[in-house]
Amino acid sequence: MYERILIPTDGSDVAELAVEHALDIAAQYDAEVHALYVVDTNAVAYSLGAEQVDRIRSGNFQGMTELREDAEAATDYVREQADARGLSVIEHISGGQPHEMIADYAEDHDVDLIVIGSHGRSGVRRALLGSVTERTLRSTTVPVLVVDARADDRE
């Protein structure tokens, strides 16, 4: 049923909870796992110049050590957790609008399931613009499992 599972991550606690759910499913179905970190170019556009934002969109993070380190830490977490379960992970970092990049990645890689946290690091932006999760739900026809941070509180 599930051959390829996509885990969009921003490294937040909620994203890490989604990783646990996704990897449990991947282990059950022996699915290929994809970890995706998207640098939100709208969020960084105010602090970076247009040239740097264009470089991020093209996948070039040269000279942007902090962004690259955050991205690698988030996808490395997925890989480390997957390694502990004997699963392999394809890690990918990109730049753009997160919901669009998630939907495009899922389509381009024939993903069968997207597992995403209910919210991440966006704080006030989430309240003003709507969450990446909500926009992802509207942007893709791939099934999406939304892991709510409150689910961890009930256990």
Give one DSSP letter per residue of 68-110, joined into a string.
HHHHHHHHHHHHHHHHHTT--EEEEEEEE-HHHHHHHHHHHTT
Under a CB-based contact definition with an 8 Å cutoff, are residues 48 and 39 in contact?
Answer: no
Residues 6+ apart with CB under 8 A from 103: 136, 139, 140, 142
CB 83: neighbour CB atoms within 10 A?
11
* pTM attached to this predicted model: 0.83
> What pLDDT sits at residue 126?
45
**Residue 34 to residues 3, 43, 105, 122, 149, Cα–Cα distance (Å):** 11, 24, 10, 22, 21
50's tokens:
């247009």
pLDDT digit string (tens) for the chain, length 155 residues: 899 999 999 998 889 999 999 999 999 999 999 999 998 776 655 555 555 655 565 565 555 667 778 889 999 999 999 999 999 999 999 888 999 999 999 999 999 999 998 865 544 444 433 488 889 999 999 999 999 866 544 44
Distance, CA of 138 to CA of 150 (rounded, Å): 22
Q: Name the CATH superfamily, with its identifier, for domain 4-154.
A: HUPs (3.40.50.620)
Under a CB-based contact definition with an 8 Å cutoff, are residues 41 and 12 in contact?
Answer: no
> What pLDDT sits at residue 155?
47
16's tokens:
């890490």
